[in-house]
Amino acid sequence: MSNNEYVVQMKGITKVYPNGVAANQGVDFNVKKGEIHALMGENGAGKSTLMKMLFGLEQPTEGEIIINGEKVSLSSPMVAISKGIGMVHQHFMLVPSLTVAENMVLGMEPKKGMFIDYKKAVEITEEYAKKYNLHVDANAKIIDIPVGMKQKVEILKALVRGAKILILDEPTAVLTTQETAELFKELINLKEQGYTIIFISHKLKEIKQITDRLTIMRGGKSMGVYETADISEQGISRLMVGRDVILTVEKEKAQPTDVVLKVRDLEYTDSWNRKMLDKLSFSVRKGEILGIAGVEGNGQRELVEMLFNLNVPDAGTVTVNGQNILGVPQRKIREMGVSLIPEDRMVYGIASSGTIEENLMSDRFDKKKYNKGMLFDMNAMHEESDRLIDDYLVLCKSRKQEVGMLSGGNIQKVVVAREFSSDPILIIADQPTRGIDVGATEFIRKKLVELSREGAAVLLVSADLNEVMELSDSLVVFYNGKIAAYFEDTSMLNDEIMGEYMLGLKKQTEEEVRRVCHE
């Protein structure tokens, strides 16, 4: 073939799903051998679809895929793997109760007679780990290893199956700053050994740091290919969303007053006997945003579950304006003025087969305002729904549209519209902008600040370090179910300091941490 410089050529790719959604329209995507190539775009821009086709999970409606100069038909992941394509999925494809070595060889087990040669599996794992400088513990069970190592296992899995082209789907979404730095070193190492890497990410800084070239997608179309060095972060952002986005949030200094949420000595041990919350105490005051930073799995999820009665702690107290909320039905908690933006919006945030209106009304349909005698006052409901859709810029055909059909960002706007419009005195925002596009992110962050300045207490849990540092007035770092540090003022913080506390390298004294109780 004429163009040997490219290992991957996707030409005029169009993908139309059976429901008529055109996820890709005439996309060209070319990757050179030995480069790190970023694929960027907002949610719903079509980048996942494009990569699914490259990995054989979906078939293009039109267009052709050429790998190493050879036209291929990638009918399944197995075919893709045999062509040297490997994918590291955002949600790891690992079996938790199996060991690292067992996961490595699954589907290609070394055998000794009738039995698995487990020793050989460990050897293979260690050999590859050494060769590519990706250190893993071959005998550890997946369930026991940290996220960073799981990712290495995923990369090794692809390599051991002969992948020369690695697709990494938002690999840094779950990593700490330090782990990300480590990953980048490993990726550059792989690149030097001649591997080609396709890197999907939203994070502009990372893209600038590690990639050679980038392809930007918007609305199912390619917005062009650029040398990373030649394009600015603003430039990328403009191409992605079609306008300039201000990612820093303007906010006045907080004037916190009375304590609203008071958590004291909360303890919880999970079903695997891990202490997820260890005598946790803190307070959130009216008018402030308290951020919770930390590597995922250090008790943040459990805390939020306790606060909204989705789980029961072993000990401790939680009050809102002096009233207990532990074990109180969610409806009562809501009546007290507590709002929740749940981490898992599809499960706890919305009923995806319901309409936008039904979802918006789901916490207030029984209020007097929306009822006329025994029946609903549909006009009042329509009016309110339309108002919320307008106010919260939900992009949709009408209030009758099914929520599940919206994009991630718009689904989250529906959740936020409902949660923010109930005059909350306390807002628990758990990963409020995870996996949604820049436009929606900006909007939700602005609203959150606005509400706090109007006097709501906000507890913000986020794995996005920039987000917690940017939005929070003060901030705590979770480590092993405890507060490792409390920062009253977030303006002096940077990634380095945070990382040290998040990874447990540093810890504040009890007295310093105790300040967050405001007693």
Partner 1 sequence: MLEQISSLIFQTDFVFSIFRITAPILFAALAAVVAEKAGVTNIGLEGIMLISGLFGTLFSYWTQSWMIGVLGAIVVGTLLALMMGFFALKLNTDIILAGIAINTMSAGGTIFLLYLFTGERGNTASLTSSNILIPTVKLPIIDSIPIIGEIISGHAVLTYIAFILVFVIWVLLYKTAIGLKIRAVGENAHAAESVGVSVIKIQYIALAISGILCGMGGAFMSMYYSQSWNTGLIAGRGFIALAAQAMGRGEPVGAMFSSLLFGLAQALRTKVSGMQGVSSNLISAMPYLVTIIGLVLYAASTMKKVKRRKADEANEEKK
Kindly list the residues in this chain that would bind partner 1 in the complex (CB under 8 A): 77-78, 81, 87, 89-98, 102-103, 106-109, 111, 114-116, 157, 161, 270-271, 344, 346-347
Least CB distance to partner 1 at residue 53 (A): 16
Least CB distance to partner 1 at residue 99 (A): 10
Residue type, 137: D
Our CB check for partner 1 shows the closer of 66 and 106 to be 106
Our CB check for partner 1 shows the closer of 21 and 108 to be 108
Two tokens at 355? Answer: 């309409």
What is the CA 432 to chain-centroid distance, rounded? Answer: 10
What lies within 8 Å, CB to CB, of 376 at 6+ separation is 365, 370
Residue 405: phi and psi, rounded to 5, are: -85, -10
**CA-CA distance, 508 to 519, in Å (whole number)?**
18
What lies within 8 Å, CB to CB, of 7 at 6+ separation is 31, 32, 33, 67, 68, 164, 165, 196
Least CB distance to partner 1 at residue 281 (A): 25
Our CB check for partner 1 shows the closer of 92 and 370 to be 92
Least CB distance to partner 1 at residue 100 (A): 13
Our CB check for partner 1 shows the closer of 311 and 317 to be 311
Least CB distance to partner 1 at residue 77 (A): 6
Number of other residues whose CB lies within 10 A of the CB of residue 489: 12
Least CB distance to partner 1 at residue 163 (A): 12
Secondary structure in 3-state letters for 331-342: HHHHHCCEEEEC
Least CB distance to partner 1 at residue 157 (A): 7
Least CB distance to partner 1 at residue 114 (A): 6
Residue type, 43: N
Our CB check for partner 1 shows the closer of 164 and 447 to be 164
Our CB check for partner 1 shows the closer of 95 and 505 to be 95
Contact 432, 452 (CB under 8 A): no
Beta-bridged to residue 261, according to DSSP, are: 284, 320
**CA-CA distance, 257 to 473, in Å (whole number)?**
13
Our CB check for partner 1 shows the closer of 112 and 367 to be 112
Residue 149: phi and psi, rounded to 5, are: -70, -35
Least CB distance to partner 1 at residue 238 (A): 29
**CA-CA distance, 8 to 31, in Å (whole number)?**
5
**CA-CA distance, 285 to 271, in Å (whole number)?**
32
**CA-CA distance, 36 to 198, in Å (whole number)?**
6
Our CB check for partner 1 shows the closer of 312 and 393 to be 312
**CA-CA distance, 383 to 192, in Å (whole number)?**
60
What lies within 8 Å, CB to CB, of 229 at 6+ separation is none
Our CB check for partner 1 shows the closer of 12 and 96 to be 96
Cα dihedral 66, 68, 72, 78, rounded to 10, equals: -130
Our CB check for partner 1 shows the closer of 270 and 519 to be 270
Our CB check for partner 1 shows the closer of 109 and 495 to be 109
What lies within 8 Å, CB to CB, of 473 at 6+ separation is 253, 254, 256, 288, 289, 290, 452, 490
What is the CA 338 to chain-centroid distance, rounded? Answer: 24
Q: Is the dihedral of CA 42, 44, 45, 50 positive or negative?
A: positive
Our CB check for partner 1 shows the closer of 116 and 140 to be 116
Least CB distance to partner 1 at residue 116 (A): 5
Least CB distance to partner 1 at residue 78 (A): 4
